[in-house]
Chains A and B, each alone.
Chain A
Amino acid sequence: MAIRTERLPYGVGRLSGGWYLLMLILLALIGLGVHAYSRQFTEGLVVTGLRDIGTMGGAPWGLYVAFDVYFVGVSFAGITIAALIRLLNLKHLKPVSRMAELLTIISLILAGFSILADLGQPVRGIVNLFLYARPQSPFFGTFTLVIAGYLFASLVYFSWMRGGMPPSVPGYRALYRVSTVSGHRATGTRSPSESGMSAPASG
């Protein structure tokens, strides 16, 4: 497949000095986060400053749970926008729908991560939350359902929306057939306007 030579607007895809600087700052931020979490993993949740309610006079839940609620909320916004654009057939907003769906997936993954970071025993958590899951617990909804159900559904929807993805990617056909359940075939013969990559005017 030929490489596209057309220029994308706003300098997207060009490797300028500013871009490298931005990436460097973001990598430093990621490194800081990894360092902070590794400290929490080895020393325990004491580094977060959370404490027990009873005689310690603290709060057992803090920013981690707030982030979980926030990210799940953001994911709802994303999937609502994507679904509305599909359902109401707003063709000129199609490029937005894909971004919104991607936002859903990413914020769901972040929600799962923030809950995992909140656990005192994260390794036990991944195993036990699926081994001994109790649907009566509200936690079941915020973690097990969100990860197992909602994230999977979002991935399926995103993959379905990305119908115009080039089938030359190895393993794509199989993945597409599995993820869409319905048995649609990835054809790759769709026009650029259908794939949502082109300018909004073409819809």
Chain B
Amino acid sequence: MARYGMVIDLERCMGCRACMVACKVENNTAQAILWMYVFRFEDGKYPNTHVWFMPRPCMHCDNAPCVKVCPVGARFKREDGLTATDWERCIGCRYCEVACPYGVNYFNWKEPARNYYLDWGDKDLASVTNGEVPPYKNPDLDKAYGLEQRRIAGGGHTKGVIEKCTFCVQRLERGLPPACVANCPVFALHFGDLDDPNSNVSRLLQKKPSFRLLEEVGTQPRVYYIGGRPPSSESRQIEPVKARV
């Protein structure tokens, strides 16, 4: 069984946020829900400043705090290491969100169909769209995946249910990398099997020193960063996000 992991090259990342767009297109996430997010940091004092970018998918921790606190087992660990969310079972208590130190969980605070950047029910818009109601819905998201045959692809986008990055499980099952990895124009994101010593991620990790976010809290994340340092308390976030629904 593969042990999936991601390696993010901070030296290569240029902060274009194409991965965020790819994620949105692939997973049809609603407004203000960013399963993949690229932080833009600024370090140092003028004139010695340094601007750098840090993509943040779900870390798919081996020792995931969100799995431990889920009261109904909707958040679970798959055999290949994905931390999956069964959106059919989730009751929406948001305990996983409270437990997660990375803040990757997103709750559907309202009906997502009414939350896609434009009000598609608007009369002015209907004259243009001829009553066709986007968004396009990826049909793969509704299917059941894995040995457990549970609906984990995050396609529900149901009101009152938690969701997060799935490493694009619907693409993995077809042998494709996640959408963010496939869409990165500068190959800053790498995805592969951490157990296989000949996979691209294993070779990258052997070649370069790496770190993981909040390694000291013992969550054992599967997302490795190379070519940089973790953000410190000195790092200032450019344009701190206040995405609100």
Contacts and interface: CB of A to CB of B under 8 A. Distances in A.
Interface of A: 43-46, 50-58, 60-61, 115, 118-122, 124-125, 128-129, 131-134, 136-140, 143-144
Given A51-B244, A121-B160, A46 B110 contact: yes
Which of B74, B91, B105 neighbours the largest number of chain A CB atoms within 10 Å of its CB?
B91
Contacts of A144: 71
Interface string B211-245: 00000000000000000000000000000111111
B64 interface: no
Interface in B79-118: 89-95, 97-98, 100, 102-111
Nearest to B242: A57
B93 A55 contact: no
A55 B71 contact: no
> Which 4 A-B residue pairings sit nearest by Cβ, starting from the closest?
A120-B92, A120-B160, A54-B103, A139-B71
Given A56-B244, A134-B72, A44 B108 contact: yes
A97 B184 CA distance: 68
Contact of B160 (A45, A58, A136, A137): A45
A5 B28 CA distance: 70
6 contacts: A43-B110, A44-B109, A45-B160, A55-B37, A55-B243, A137-B70
Nearest to A126: B91
B52 to A, nearest CB: 18
Given A52-B107, A54-B37, A115-B93, 6 more contacts: A44-B108, A45-B110, A56-B242, A119-B93, A129-B72, A137-B69
A120 B241 contact: no
A122 B32 CA distance: 24
Contact of A52 (B73, B91, B106): B106
Given A53-B103, A56-B244, A128-B89, A120 B110 contact: no
The SS class assigned to the B binding surface is loop
A57 B241 contact: yes
Contact of A54 (B69, B106, B158): B106
A38 to B, nearest CB: 15
A120 B94 contact: yes
B103 A55 contact: yes
Contacts of A60: 94, 97-98, 107
B161 interface: yes
A137 B71 contact: yes
Contacts of B97: 52-53, 60
B156 to A, nearest CB: 11
A125 B103 contact: no
B109 A45 contact: yes
Contact of A125 (B32, B92, B241, B244): B92
B94 A46 contact: no
A119 B91 contact: yes
A119 B102 CA distance: 22
Contacts of A128: 72, 74, 89, 91
B73 A134 contact: yes
Nearest to A55: B241
Nearest to A132: B72
Contacts of B34: 54-55
B90 A46 contact: no
Contact of A121 (B70, B73, B161): B161
B93 to A, nearest CB: 6
